Amino acid sequence: MKKIFLFPAVLLSFSIAAQELPMRQGIFEPTVESLSTYQFPEWFRDAKFGIWSHWGPQAVPREGDWYAKNMYIYHEERTGNPNRQYSTHVERYGNPADFGYKDIIPLWKAERWNPEELMKLFKKAGAKYFVSMATHHDNFFLWNSKLHRWNSVNMGPRRDVVGEWQKAAKRNGLYFGVSEHLAASYTWFQTAHGTDPNGKQYDGNDPQYQDLYHKKAAPDDNKWLTNNPEWQRQWYDRITELIDGYHPDLLYSDSRLPFGNFGHTMLAHYYNQGTNKKGITEVVYTAKQNANGMFAHDIELGVREDIGAYPWQTDTSIGDWYYRTGQGYRSSDQVIQMLVDVVSKNGNMLLNVVQTPEGDLEPDVLKILEGIAVWIKDNGEAIYGSRPWSVFGEGPSLQGEQEQGRFGGLRDVRKYQPGDLRFTTKKGVLYAFAMEHPQEAIKIASVTGKKVKSVSMLGSKEKIKWSQQDGILLIEKPAKLPEYNTLVFRVEFVSK
On whether both 200 and 99 belong to a single domain, the answer is: yes
User: Is residue 53 domain-resident?
Assistant: yes
- Give the residue, 321 or 79, on which the prediction is more confident: 321
On whether both 95 and 196 belong to a single domain, the answer is: yes
CATH code assigned at 404: 2.60.40.1180
- Whether the pLDDT of residue 9 is over 70: the answer is no
The distance of Cα 257 from the centroid of its chain, to the nearest Å, equals: 15
State the CB neighbour count (10 A cutoff) for residue 75: 12
- Residue 355 CA to residue 361 CA, distance in Å, equals 5
User: Is residue 489 domain-resident?
Assistant: yes
Average pLDDT over residues 391-399: 93
User: Is residue 192 domain-resident?
Assistant: yes
User: Is residue 344 domain-resident?
Assistant: no
Instruction: Cite the beta strand spans of 1-110 per DSSP E.
Output: 11-16, 19-24, 49-53
List the domain range (segments joined by +) for residue 209: 11-300
* pLDDT band, very low/low/confident/very high, at 19 (cuts 50, 70, 90): low
pLDDT for 82 equals 79
User: Is residue 349 domain-resident?
Assistant: no
On whether both 282 and 400 belong to a single domain, the answer is: no
The total domain count for the chain is 2
Backbone phi, then psi, for 454, in 5-degree steps? Answer: -160, 155
**Do β-strands 19-24 and 429-434 pair in parallel, antiparallel, or remain unpaired?**
unpaired
The 10s digit of each residue's pLDDT in 401-450 is: 777 877 777 878 889 999 999 999 999 999 999 999 999 999 999 998 89
User: Is residue 458 domain-resident?
Assistant: yes
User: Is residue 307 domain-resident?
Assistant: no
CATH code assigned at 269: 3.20.20.80
**Cα–Cα distances in angstroms (integers) from residue 410 to residues 270, 341, 370, 436, in the given order:** 31, 11, 27, 19
On whether both 294 and 434 belong to a single domain, the answer is: no
DSSP H or E segment with residue 491 = strand 487-493
- Give the residue, 10 or 256, on which the prediction is more confident: 256
User: Is residue 115 domain-resident?
Assistant: yes
DSSP H or E segment with residue 44 = helix 42-47
pLDDT for 3 equals 33
pLDDT for 411 equals 77
Q: Which of 265, 283, 300 is the last residue of a domain?
A: 300
pLDDT for 75 equals 82
The 10s digit of each residue's pLDDT in 462-482 is: 999 999 999 899 999 999 999
Q: Which of 246, 273, 300 is the last residue of a domain?
A: 300
The 10s digit of each residue's pLDDT in 195-245 is: 999 999 999 999 999 999 999 999 999 999 999 999 999 999 999 999 999
Contact 353, 318 (CB under 8 A): yes
Q: Is 410 helix (H, G, I), strand (E, B) or coil?
A: strand
- Whether the pLDDT of residue 365 is over 90: the answer is yes
253: nearest Cα among 408, 405, 131, 122: 131
